[in-house]
A and B are shown apart, each in its own frame.
Chain A
Amino acid sequence: MSRLWPRSGVSEMQKPIPTREAFGEVLAELGKEFTELVVVDCDISKGTRTVYFAKAYPERYINFGIAEQNAMCAAAGLALEGKLPLISTYAVFASMRAVEQIRTFICYDNLNVKIAVSHGGMNPSTDGVTHQASEDLGMLTTIPNLTVVAPADYYATRVLTRAALAWQGPVYLRFSKDPVPLVYTADDTFAIGKGKVLRDGSDVTLISNGDMLPVAVEAADMLAAQGVSVQLIDMHTVKPLDRELVLAAAQKTRRIVTIEDHQIHGGLGGAVAELLGEERPTPMRRIGLRDTFAESGPFNALLKKYHMDADAIVLAARELLGK
């Protein structure tokens, strides 16, 4: 059993599921509700799981081959003609190879294009650095008009994918390649721009998202066992950041640890630090890659090597607590 696994005695139904799988599944279902939805692909529909939509709605599925910049502009063109294009590729290609197309031709005109990516963070762990995206949030959160969302698990992905389609304006949705343990149930609700408090506590706040949320859950369990009262927040929307929730947490626990599958710069930790630096300076630790590239390897081993596992989170929290 995975060391990441936050619960014991899980049933078959609670097996870890890649969020890309949840995304592909719900996208095919949403084709009926969103009649203008058109899916734009770049030859990795099997990887992003848009293949399910392609089978359900072949007339609303466009594959431009391995040409992400063209696909991004074509999505802009489709939006200009009233379609609801969702372009799907890997995070590293969307956010870096086609970042200018996102910025100038989608976000500048505030076009209703959804950019849904798999392989966010180090999660395509054995693929290595060329296919990992540890800088994408930094690239994208500086772009005006863009909403940036990193759902944690299967259930969060299902709800937030629908929310992104219903949202007016460009949205970047970041999913994981590898299976992620379930944190939520089918009854959980989510709203873009609103963080979700999973546990309340008074000593320290852990703020995480995406595939790191289960790791944060594990760390919260370990801290609780040591008698620390932990507040745990899923900040699935990195932009616009839920300012009120972050400020309230800083006021309440006075100690913040951010945990993300990204560089510590430019992503969730950066956004929280920027806000608190201006509004309520608060002792913080940021868990993430520290100005280094990762490498190929099992996800758990990468987390350990780069000081991003539950032990590292516990250590950071205890430093803030002076213990």
Chain B
Amino acid sequence: MHNTVSPPTADAALIERLEAQARVIRRDIIKMTYTAQAGHPGGSLSSADILTALYFHVLRLDPKNPDWPQRDRFILSKGHGCPTLYACLARRGFYPLDQLYTLRQLGSMLQGHPHKGSPPGVETTSGSLGNGFAIAMGRALALKMNTSTSRVYVLLGDGECDEGIVWEAAMAAAKYNLDNLTAIVDRNRLQNDGNADEIMPLDPLDEKWRAFRWHVITIDGHDMCAILTALDAAKATKGQPTVIIANTIKGKGVSFMENNADWHGRAPTQAEYEQALAEIGGE
């Protein structure tokens, strides 16, 4: 066993607040993809708890000053999960909430995959997989050169780890001892064409990262307490970058979307939309 974090007792009120916030984000994801009749609900829902923890507790941010130099940087390398990012940014006040439902419409700030600065708070263009992670590594290196205390967080999909550039960047992050860089792998074990274990087996994924000289933490990516604890441990790790392998469920929170690759890139019908919102609750 290697650095598997058991959730300790955490601030119960904080956990409760973040769990409630994650329900709001999940509702937003369903509403956005339903309104757009496009997008990627499955992988957005699997990362909802992780992004909620980051945006509503961990990241040092100023929504009124999105380019504040001292901010922490979050990069959504799995750019197709952008409904989650857009919802978090709107709910944190980076841009007006009523813009959320313009996803993928002509003239909208909310592009089908993230474009830097659009909406405010999107740090990096992403969506062509693997590249956001390499950009995150470059930014972490630049911040080190500038002796900045800002941290860089980057979320990858597990299918994304098929890309060679991920491992090129992983080597580089270890070479330059980028302990200001934390990667989180949304390990939902499904990718576009189906079961990730069949399409391109990644196991042992933790051993792969360890062989690339990363500090590895494995958690349940829907356990808010475990997420916070792992992010704390990553921050405390010196001399090497940390990866958190977050075991998640694709489509988490909506029974008929859970563990179903068909929901990688399709939008709900009206009946599915209503059922999804009812299951998520929190209204």
Contacts and interface: CB of A to CB of B under 8 A. Distances in A.
Given A104-B128, A105-B135, A109-B125, A78 B141 contact: yes
A38 B145 contact: yes
B171 A74 contact: no
A100 B164 CA distance: 14
A78 B169 contact: no
Interface string A77-114: 11011110000000000000000110011001100000
Interface string B136-154: 1111111101100000000
B267 interface: no
A308 B134 CA distance: 41
Interface in B114-133: 115-116, 123-125, 128, 130-131
A283 interface: no
Interface of B is mostly: helix
B97 to A, nearest CB: 26
Nearest to B69: A82
Interface in A195-241: none
Contacts of A76: 124, 135, 138
Contact of A77 (B115, B139, B164, B168): B139
B222 to A, nearest CB: 30
Nearest to A104: B128
A114 B105 CA distance: 34
A73 B146 contact: no
Interface residues of A, number: 25
A64 B135 contact: no
A56 interface: no
Given A65-B171, A69-B168, A109-B116, A77 B145 contact: no
Nearest to B142: A81
A73 B172 contact: no
Contact of A78 (B123, B138, B168): B138
Given A81-B143, A104-B131, A73 B171 contact: no
B165 A81 contact: no
Contact of A74 (B123, B141, B146): B141
Interface in B81-123: 115-116, 123
B128 A74 contact: no
A67 interface: yes
A64 B173 CA distance: 10
A62 interface: yes
Contacts of B138: 73-78, 80-81
Contacts of B172: 64-65, 67, 70, 74
A64 B172 CA distance: 6
Contacts of B135: 73-74, 76-77, 80, 105
Nearest to B128: A104
A67 B141 CA distance: 16
Closest 10 CB pairs of A and B: A77-B138, A74-B138, A73-B134, A81-B142, A70-B168, A67-B168, A77-B139, A77-B135, A70-B134, A78-B142
B169 A73 contact: yes
B134 A82 contact: no
Interface string B157-186: 000000011001101100010000000000
B190 to A, nearest CB: 25
A93 to B, nearest CB: 13
7 contacts: A62-B141, A69-B130, A69-B131, A70-B169, A73-B137, A80-B123, A81-B138
Given A74-B137, A104-B125, A105-B131, 15 more contacts: A60-B145, A69-B134, A70-B137, A70-B165, A73-B137, A73-B165, A74-B134, A74-B141, A76-B124, A77-B134, A77-B136, A77-B139, A80-B123, A100-B128, A109-B115
A87 to B, nearest CB: 10
Contacts of B131: 69, 73, 100-101, 104-105
Contacts of B137: 70, 73-74, 77
B177 to A, nearest CB: 13
Contacts of A77: 124, 134-142
Given A73-B134, A104-B131, A105-B131, A80 B165 contact: no
Contacts of A75: 138
Nearest to A80: B139
Contacts of B176: 62
A88 B164 CA distance: 20
A82 B148 CA distance: 12
Contacts of A74: 134-135, 137-138, 141, 169, 172
Given A73-B134, A74-B137, A109-B125, A82 B169 contact: no
A82 B176 CA distance: 19
A105 B125 contact: yes
Contact of B146 (A67, A69, A81, A108): A81
B139 A81 contact: yes
B109 to A, nearest CB: 15
Contacts of B146: 81-82
A236 to B, nearest CB: 30
A108 B139 CA distance: 18
